[in-house]
Structure 1
Amino acid sequence: MNLKRYIRDIPDFPSKGIVFKDITPLLKDPLAMKQATDALMDLIGNQKIDIVVGIESRGFFFAALLAARLNAGFVPVRKPGKLPAEKISVTYDLEYGTDTLEIHKDAIQKGDKVLIHDDVLATGGTAKATCELVERLGGEIVQCNFLMALDFLKGEEKLKGYEIRSLMQY
């Protein structure tokens, strides 16, 4: 099954000049979603994972599915004001501005083996910020895993030193 056919391009979203990769057609199709989940699991292999960190918000879909299959915990990384307990935050640059991410202070314990998942690797700013949060809490990042990578934006350069895997490249 060609999963790329389930990714819809939305021009000029969220701002002019950006071509947004919409994964909702993939999520709507049960067979495509299952195949994507299976393929993401294959990218992880037999690595030990304690926690799967999903990045707001589209990273949550597959991160939770991966956590369940890995018998690991799921931890959301969210935008400000969404997490109720004590948290830490980081502000970072992205391809069309700046943003801030937060994680609960008690979400990750020192030495936890962590898989970070998001839907798209673009410039790498969001993933790099998430790596910083995880490492500040003492987590050991095993892999950063993505549904797709926009290779022309060179996001992997910001993630040097981390194992990076993605199902689809654009």
Structure 2
Amino acid sequence: MAADCESKLQLVRRHIRDFPDFPKPGIVFRDICPILKDPAALTAVIDLFEEHVRKNHPQVELIVGLDARGFLFGPLLAQRLGVGFVMIRKKGKLPGTTASVAYDLEYGKAEAEIQEDAVAPGQKILLIDDLLATGGTLYAAGELLKKQQAEIMGCLVVIELNELNGSDKLKPLPVFSLVQY
């Protein structure tokens, strides 16, 4: 089982493409597009997330994905687990009554929204996204879900950029990342 897990992680790592100096000089962009293009790599990602969740969070009731790349992995994982999927979107993208939270980005501000009736108070959820950098977006999502009185069990990401210490910003929430740089 451990060997199978390691071979899946290696497959995922091989399908992450680096783009130096994008979107600006000094930044190495970690591209997940090759994972999405390769059915075996995408299956490996979902297998690894599923194994982690079944082992560590068997009581999860909803997977909540962040706009937009959390939408790529979240529904697949939710389907495997037999639970629902909910979206957190950028401001103005969801119909109906929404709850929102403002947060800071590197070069400005943003707002994240969720439909008010998407999560019931006390519902056990996991947040999912493709990448954890500084932690600002996942932190804002957590604040939004606290407003909804959800029980946040943790965060799942494909890639974590350790040097940016994003997981520190999310404490005490546990962060599970497949690949770290």
TM-score exceeds 0.5: yes
Which stretch shifts more, 27-36 or 84-93?
Answer: 84-93
8 Å contact kept, 1:95–1:122: no
Amino-acid identity (%): 47
Once the 2 structures are TM-superposed, how far is the Cα of residue 45 of structure 1 from its aligned partner? Answer: 2.7
Match of 2:31 among 22, 25, 40: 22
Q: Which residue of 2 aligns with 1:42?
A: 51
Please say if 1:70 is aligned against 2:70.
no
Q: Aligned letter for 1:116?
A: L
Q: Which residue of 2 aligns with 1:33?
A: 42
Q: Aligned letter for 2:103?
A: Y
Q: Aligned letter for 2:47?
A: D
Q: Which residue of 2 aligns with 1:91?
A: 102
CA shift digits 1:37-87 (9 cap, x unpaired): 101112213421111100010111111111111111110111111101111
Please say if 1:80 is aligned against 2:91.
yes
Match of 1:6 among 15, 35, 39: 15
Q: Matched residues in 2 for 1:138 and 1:153: separation?
A: 29
8 Å contact kept, 1:95–1:123: no
Q: Which residue of 1 aligns with 2:159?
A: 148
Computing the radius of gyration from Cα coordinates, the structure with the larger value is 2
Once the 2 structures are TM-superposed, how far is the Cα of residue 17 of structure 1 from its aligned partner? Answer: 3.5
Once the 2 structures are TM-superposed, how far is the Cα of residue 19 of structure 1 from its aligned partner? Answer: 2.3
Which stretch shifts more, 22-31 or 42-51?
Answer: 42-51
Q: Aligned letter for 2:167?
A: E
SS at match of 2:152: strand
Q: Which residue of 2 aligns with 1:139?
A: 150
Q: Matched residues in 2 for 1:99 and 1:155: separation?
A: 18
Ranges in structure 2 where 5+ consecutive residues have no aligned partner: 1-6
Q: Aligned letter for 1:34?
A: T
SS at match of 2:111: strand
- Structure (1/2) with the larger helix percentage: 2
Q: Matched residues in 2 for 1:15 and 1:25: separation?
A: 21
CA shift digits 1:79-114 (9 cap, x unpaired): 111101111111112344432211111110001000
Ranges in structure 1 where 5+ consecutive residues have no aligned partner: none
Q: Matched residues in 2 for 1:90 and 1:23: separation?
A: 27
